Amino acid sequence: KKMVYYFGGGKAEGSADMKLLLGGKGANLAEMTNLGLPVPPGITITTEVCKEYFELGQKFPEGMWEQVLEGMKKIEEEMGKKFGDKRNPLLVSVRSGAPVSMPGMMDTILNLGLNDETVKGLAESTGNERFAWDSYRRFIQMFGNVVMGIPHEKFEEILEAKKREVGAKADVDLTAEDLKDVVKRYKELVKKETGREFPQDPYEQLKMAIKAVFDSWNNPRAIKYREINKIPEDYGTAVNIVAMVFGNMGDTSGTGVAFTRNPSTGENVFYGEYLKNAQGEDVVAGIRTPQPLTKAQKTSPEQVSLEEEFPEVYQQLLKVRDILEKHYKDMQDIEFTIENGRLWMLQTRAGKRTARAAVKIAVDLVKEGLISKEEALLRIDPTLINQLLHPMLDEEERKRAIEEGRLIARGLPAAPGAVSGKVVFNADEAVELAEKGEKVILVRHETSPEDIHGMHAAEGILTARGGMTSHAAVVARGMGKTCIVGAESIYVDYDKEEFRVGDVVVKKGEVITLDGSTGEVFHGELKTIPAQISGEFEELMKWADEIRDLKVRVNADTPEDAKQGREFGAEGIGLCRTEHMFFKEERIPVVREMILAKTEEERKRALEKLLPMQKNDFIAIFEVMNGLPVNIRLLDPPLHEFLPKTEEEFQRTAQEMGLPVEEIKKRAEELEEVNPMLGLRGSRLGITFPEIYEMQVRAILEAACECKKNGIEVLPEIMLPLIADDRELKELKKLIDRVAAEVFLETGVEVPYQVGTMVEVPRAALIADQLARYAEYFSFGTNDLTQMTFGLSRDDAGKFIGKYIELEILKGDPFMHIDENGVGRLIETAIELGNRTRPGMKTGVCGEHGGDPRSINFFQKVGVQYVSPSPFRVPIARLAAAQAKI
């Protein structure tokens, strides 16, 4: 069985479409080799071997090692060097590479093959003794840490001590002799920590490294990363063993990372960073702040771009950029090394990008003729659109804050959005506070993969070190978190739990604000404004609208929400919850009067006061929605939700109603229910207190008539909640039609209106053919429908549903993604039955699922005609609807 794939010398056994088998890195190294790009030779051990390795109890499957040795021979031939050779040794890197990129989560070892003998050969063959010993000390450090489990800091302590002893400021100031001594101390450390000598046999080193890389598939941070990013557990990682090329051979060498387009804005410009005389990991680890790739990228005259420093390599890179983009038809994230002026490509992959960049790049690629509109639409993850709709800083407030001296630092704008939160300095604390509902900003020197859970919990991330491609930047961008990196002026003091900038001290728990679009850090909280949508976004959305069948409305209870929804492209209101209009502070006393009324007379008096208020609400909404349908739902929640609760509220209500407090309390008690969600709510209110619904219908239609007189086109739909029986519906439809006739007679105006029902009780779905006799449309209230189908409280399930998901009893939270098997089947049934009575009848979804891409895909399949999410999810729904169609 083939377990090892070779690439080198312009030919590879693998290709880009073998990611599942070779991992992303291995597949793309093979592809780049076949494209004729300068890739050092190497081999990839497949992900299948990784799986077998675990099945065998962490042992190599039979025959693997022989195939590795065969591959190593080919690498030796191609490089003209021998592994373990005392005169001209071949060194290799050993790297993980999963089918899906997991940046920094798993292990990498560089410079493998060095020992007390080969280090001398390396010094001789390169004529660079310092370089050889620096490579050896790096190797012992990395191998010692990753493979032998010795803490990184112990090595750092030795290195720092040596620097102090000889008065060296930076690592590069250490001489070959100094480094020999560091190597000696490193080896002593290894002996002390592990009780064994540092392994000298290169093949033993190789075996141990392969094992370590496989094992790292199951380290805690990798597991956490897979959990957060929903990467299957059974993928496994490949292992890439690649001939080393050196970016740390002196000033004609270097290493860098680049994006073929700007990953933050999406602009079609080459964008990246490099470090002279450094090895790859130095850039990603964020230890030194790198220099820009291009002249255009420079932000200060002291910087030296690669374009200036290595003009020939830059020209070559430009060609590589072009070849890769044309070939992959997407923005690429590349890693390269320059060894003595010669360019080597070490990696390419689809670059992570902000939502804004994703949209711009997709639209640009269509215009450049590289991909189709459909392809562009499929490339955008609808949930990422949230990022585009992220708030920005209010400009006035920003200016004021700057005048007040509250702009305390500036870093690199790694991921957009403006957020405020309390400062914390470690990931665990970030999680703890976030769980208590606090907004936190995680502040670190630099982040490492161990911080992943804290980054997830935080609103934003701020680091003192690192560049745009450092760990923090890459991970935050992927998560859609606001992030600023490399704010070099701040000093983070973990011991004192504070950070300092000049003489400003910010302690743990103080609030700061980050603007991830500009890199500005402010002391205190700043006001933000909602995001605005770019030209490319509009364009992409237009394409989505051309393609999709499913209509998208918006759930809106106020003119403001309605306006926001319309701006985002909603094609009507799918649900206007009238109770939200009752909750306004100045109305609550009147609402209480209505509820606590003992006689119909009393109730009517209160309702007369409410009528003009409701009418004005509807007028405002109709005005905004001019020409579009507005689906208004009559009162739904259990009445006791409006009742006074505190003693003070009881007193006030009693006073306002001119009744003794005792009387009020008694009436309130009478309205108490054991199971309010299954009690006197929804249309049952209309049956019990018809005058309430009469008032609401009158308000809706009087408003509609008045708007029509003023030249506004109104298309009201009146919807009954929680219907469970056709006679219930029949009764209430009669009420609505009667009030409508009265209003039309009184006003002398007629407005076309429809009466529909929500389908949110399972029984309603099962008798949908009977309901359709009276209901002109159905709107699936999937929140209640899920609650009642599962018998699972939508308000309390959160407490235990996690366990169900963990045990995989449930695939996901059914209140988030529609349960296709159960609730979904009810929806399908209802649509089918409804159509039997009323062919082509209108159906929509107004529960939370209407804004969830996965659910939208299902709704499209079963023939729902529109979805109606909250305003900010309207664009997500438009895109998801288009994707569901494609």
Q: Name the residues annotated as catalytic.
A: 471, 846
Q: Is 784 in the site for Mg ion (CB under 5 A)?
A: yes
CB 333 → ligand PEP: shortest distance, Å?
42
What angle is formed at CA 753 by the lines to CA 776 and CA 788, rounded to 5 degrees?
A: 45
Closest CB to ligand PEP among 226 and 640?
A: 640
Sequence-ordered list of residues with C-beta below 8 angstroms from that of 440, at least 6 positions apart, any chain: 421, 422, 423, 424, 429, 430, 433, 434, 457, 458, 459
781 touches ligand PEP (CB under 6 A): yes
Task: Specify the residue for token string 């039979």.
Answer: 62
* Residue placing its CB nearer to ligand PEP in the complex, 847 or 875: 847
Applying CB under 6 A, among 219, 783, 829, 837 the residue interacting with ligand PEP is 783
Residues 632-651 that bind ligand PEP (CB under 6 A): 636
3-state secondary structure (DSSP) of residue 830 = helix
Min dist CB 677 to ligand PEP, Å, is: 9
| Cβ closest to ligand PEP, residue 451 vs residue 784 | 784
The residue to which tokens 């209309």 are assigned = 686
Supply 360's token pair.
Answer: 């711009």
- Which of 451/760 has CB closer to ligand PEP? 760
The least distance separating ligand PEP from the CB of residue 848, rounded to whole angstroms, comes to 7
Site for ligand PEP in 676-735 (CB under 6 A): none
Tokens encoding 60: 């190599």
Stretch 291-310 residues interacting with ligand PEP (CB under 6 A): none
DSSP 530-579: -----HHHHHHHHHHHHH--SEE-EE-SSHHHHHHHHHTT--SEEEEETH
Task: Check binding of 846 to ligand PEP (CB under 6 A).
Answer: yes
Amino acid at 802: G
Query: Distances in Å between the alpha carbon of 732 and those of 23, 632, 699, 774, 830?
Result: 62, 15, 16, 10, 21
Q: Which one of Mg ion, ligand PEP, none interacts with residue 617, CB within 5 to 8 A by kind?
A: none
Residue 364 binding target from Mg ion, ligand PEP, none, CB below 5 to 8 Å by type: none
Instruction: Find the shortest distance in angstroms from Cβ 635 to ligand PEP.
Output: 11
Q: Would you state the structure tokens that stand for residue 717, as one six-digit string? A: 């739909």
Nearer to ligand PEP by C-beta: 636 or 820? 636
From the list 113-121, 371-379, 777-785, 857-865, the region that binds ligand PEP by CB under 6 A is: 777-785
In this complex, which beta carbon is closest to ligand PEP, that of residue 489 or of residue 783? 783
CA distance 559 to 455: 36
Residue 847 binds to ligand PEP (criterion: CB under 6 A): yes
Closest CB to Mg ion among residues 239, 765: 765
Q: Out of Mg ion, ligand PEP, none, which partner does residue 489 contact, by CB within 5 to 8 A per kind?
A: none
Which x/- pattern over 80-119 shows residues binding ligand PEP (rule: CB under 6 A)?
----------------------------------------
- Using the contact rule CB under 5 A, the part of the chain among 50-58, 531-539, 727-735, 781-789 near Mg ion is 781-789
782 binds, among ligand PEP, Mg ion, none (CB under 5 to 8 A by kind): ligand PEP
In Å, what is the CA distance from 151 to each residue of 119, 145, 280, 426, 694? 24, 6, 21, 18, 74
By the rule CB under 6 A, 577 interacts with ligand PEP: yes
Q: Which does 728 bind (CB under 5 to 8 A by kind): ligand PEP, Mg ion, none?
A: none
- List the single partner that 577 binds among ligand PEP, Mg ion, none, CB under 5 to 8 Å by kind: ligand PEP
- Of 171 and 760, the one with the shorter C-beta distance to Mg ion is 760
Query: How far apart are CB 868 and ligand PEP at their closest, in Å?
Result: 8
228 sits in which H/E element:
helix 220-229
CA separation for the pair 667, 599 (Å, rounded): 12
- CB nearer to ligand PEP: give 448 or 783: 783
- Cα distances from 681 to residues 208, 639, 772, 875, in angstroms, run 67, 7, 22, 32
Contacting Mg ion (CB under 5 A), which of 144, 411, 781, 851? 781
Contact code string over 525-564 relative to ligand PEP, x by CB under 6 A = ----------------------------------------
Nearer to ligand PEP, 359 or 867 (CB): 867
The whole-angstrom separation of Cα 724 and Cα 357 is 48
Q: How far apart are the first and last CA of the chain?
A: 39
**Which residue in 575, 625, 639, 775 binds ligand PEP (CB under 6 A)?**
575
Q: Is 28 a residue that touches ligand PEP (CB under 6 A)?
A: no
Q: Looking only at residues 742 through 771 of this chain, which bind ligand PEP when binding is defined by CB under 6 A? A: 760
Question: Which one of the spans 307-315, 321-329, 758-766, 825-833 is the region binding Mg ion (CB under 5 A)?
Answer: 758-766
Q: Which amino acid is at 719?
A: M
Is residue 416 within 8 Å of 485, Cβ to Cβ? Answer: no
Scored b (16 or more CB within 10 A) or e, 147-184 reads bbebeeebbeebbeebbeeeebeebeebeeebbbbbbe
Q: Rounded to an integer, what distance in angstroms lies between the CA atom of residue 186 and that of residue 137? A: 7
Residue 847 binding partner per list ligand PEP, Mg ion, none, with a CB distance cut-off of 5 to 8 Å that depends on partner kind = ligand PEP
CB of 792 to ligand PEP, least distance (A): 13
3-state SS of 49-61?
Answer: HHHHHHHCCCCCC
Q: Least CB distance from residue 639 to ligand PEP, whole Å?
A: 15
352 touches 835 (CB < 8 A)? no
Please tell me the total number of residues recorded for the chain in this structure.
886
Q: How many residues in the shown chain lie near ligand PEP by CB under 6 A?
A: 10
Stretch touching ligand PEP by CB under 6 A, among 195-203, 590-598, 779-787, 807-815 = 779-787
Separation in Å, CA 96 to CA 190, 250, 478: 24, 27, 20
The CB-of-862 to Mg ion minimum distance in angstroms stands at 20
Mark the segment that binds Mg ion (CB under 5 A) among 403-411, 473-481, 557-565, 775-783. 775-783
Got the DSSP string for 334-379? EEEEEETTEEEEEEEEEPP--HHHHHHHHHHHHHTTSS-HHHHHHH
Count of positions on this chain that bind Mg ion (CB under 5 A): 3
Give the residue, chosen from 33, 216, 782, 789, that forms a contact with ligand PEP under the rule CB under 6 A. Answer: 782
Residues 449, 452, 454, 458, Cα dihedral to 10°: 120
- What are phi and psi for residue 274, nearest 5 degrees? -150, 165
Among 359, 344, 350, 345, residue whose Cα is nearest residue 328: 350
Helix, strand, coil tally for the chain in percent (to 5) = 50, 15, 35
638 vs 853, beta carbon nearer Mg ion: 638
- Contact positions vs Mg ion (CB under 5 A): 760, 781, 784
- Contact positions vs ligand PEP (CB under 6 A): 575, 577, 636, 760, 781-784, 846-847
